[in-house]
C-alpha cells in the first residue's frame, strides 16, 4: 500500500477505537481528509484507498484541484467540504462546486451562498462556525450569537443547516480539549431545544480527535496524519 493508504488505515483505526471507547456506534464519525496544500494526485491516491470526503481551506487552490479531478476522474464520486474562512465576495464558486461549507459565521455569507447555489444542485450543507475559545485571531460567531444565526439560516432556500463547527484553541491539555468540545455539544443541544434540527458536530483534528469524538463529534477533519507535513509557500 502507499503511505497515504497506510495513513488512512491508521486514522480509521483510531476513529474506530475512539468510537468504541466513547460508546458510540461504529461508523458514527465521518472522516474528512483535509487536502489543503496537497496536489490533486494525493487526493486521487486517497480516493482510490476508499476516502470520499475531502476538506479544503483555500478557494483558488481548491477550485482548481476539484475541477481537475472531476474532469480527469469523473468515476470518483467525491464529497467536497469547504472548511476555511470565506469572504462574501468569494462565495459563488463555493456555492457552485462544494457539497458542504463548515465555516459560515455570519448571515451575509449564508444569504450569498443561498442566492448563488444553482437550482440543479441539491441543497448546500451548512455548518455554523462558532468561536468557542474566544480567540480574536479565529473566525466564528460567538456562542451568544449562535441561536439567532441558526434561526436566520435554517430557512434560506438552497441551503440545509446541518450543525456546528469549531476550531478550539490548540492545547495538549486533554481536559481543556474536552471542555471546548463539550461547550459546542451543549450549544447544539440548546439550539435543538428551539426546534432546529442539527445532526452534525464538525470538531476534532489530528491532535485532539480522541477528545472530540468522546464529546460527540460526527465529523473529524484530519490532514497531517493522512497526507504528511505541509509545506507552505514562502
Half-sphere exposure of 43 (CA within 13 A, CB side): 29
76, three cell numbers:
470518483
Query: 26 to each of 37, 168, 205, 213, how far by Cα in Å?
Result: 31, 25, 19, 12
Tell me the whole-structure pTM to 2 decimals. 0.95
Tell which phi-psi region holds residue 230, choosing left (phi > 0), alpha (psi between -120 and 50) or beta: beta
Measured distance CA(138)–CA(108) in Å, rounded? 18
DSSP label at residue 128: E
Give pLDDT tens digits along the chain (234 positions): 579 999 999 999 999 999 999 999 999 999 999 999 999 999 999 999 999 999 999 999 999 999 999 999 999 999 999 999 999 999 999 999 999 999 999 999 999 999 999 999 999 999 999 998 877 667 899 999 999 999 999 999 999 999 999 998 888 999 999 999 999 999 999 999 999 999 999 999 999 999 999 999 999 999 999 998 876 554
Measured distance CA(129)–CA(140) in Å, rounded? 5
Which residue bears the cell 483534528? 205
Query: 187 to each of 105, 130, 136, 184, how far by Cα in Å?
Result: 15, 10, 20, 5
181, three cell numbers:
468540545
Measured distance CA(102)–CA(26) in Å, rounded? 23
Q: 166: burial class by Cβ within 10 Å (0-12, 13-18, 19+)?
A: buried
Amino acid at each position: 500500500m502507499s503511505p497515504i493508504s497506510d495513513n488512512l488505515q491508521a486514522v480509521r483505526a483510531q476513529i474506530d477505537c475512539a468510537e468504541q471507547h466513547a460508546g458510540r456506534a461504529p461508523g458514527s464519525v465521518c472522516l474528512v481528509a483535509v487536502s489543503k496544500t496537497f496536489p490533486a494526485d494525493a487526493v486521487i491516491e486517497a480516493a482510490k484507498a476508499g476516502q470520499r470526503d475531502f476538506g479544503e481551506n483555500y478557494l483558488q487552490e481548491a477550485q482548481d484541484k476539484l475541477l481537475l479531478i472531476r474532469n480527469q476522474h469523473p468515476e470518483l464520486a467525491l464529497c467536497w467540504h469547504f472548511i476555511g474562512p470565506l469572504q462574501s465576495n468569494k462565495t459563488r464558486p463555493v456555492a457552485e462546486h462544494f457539497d458542504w461549507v463548515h465555516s459560515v459565521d455570519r448571515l451575509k455569507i449564508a444569504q450569498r451562498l443561498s442566492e448563488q447555489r444553482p437550482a440543479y444542485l441539491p441543497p448546500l450543507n451548512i455548518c455554523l462556525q462558532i468561536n468557542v475559545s474566544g480567540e480574536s485571531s479565529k473566525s466564528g460567531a460567538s456562542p451568544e450569537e449562535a441561536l439567532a444565526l441558526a434561526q436566520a439560516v435554517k430557512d434560506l432556500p438552497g441551503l440545509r443547516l446541518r450543525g456546528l463547527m469549531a476550531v478550539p484553541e490548540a492545547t495538549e491539555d486533554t481536559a481543556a480539549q474536552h471542555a471546548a468540545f463539550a461547550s459546542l455539544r451543549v450549544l447544539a443541544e440548546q439550539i435543538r431545544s428551539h426546534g432546529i434540527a442539527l445532526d452534525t458536530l464538525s470538531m476534532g483534528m489530528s491532535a485532539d480527535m480522541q477528545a472530540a469524538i468522546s464529546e460527540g463529534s460526527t465529523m473529524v477533519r484530519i490532514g497531517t496524519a493522512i497526507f504528511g507535513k505541509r509545506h507552505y509557500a514562502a
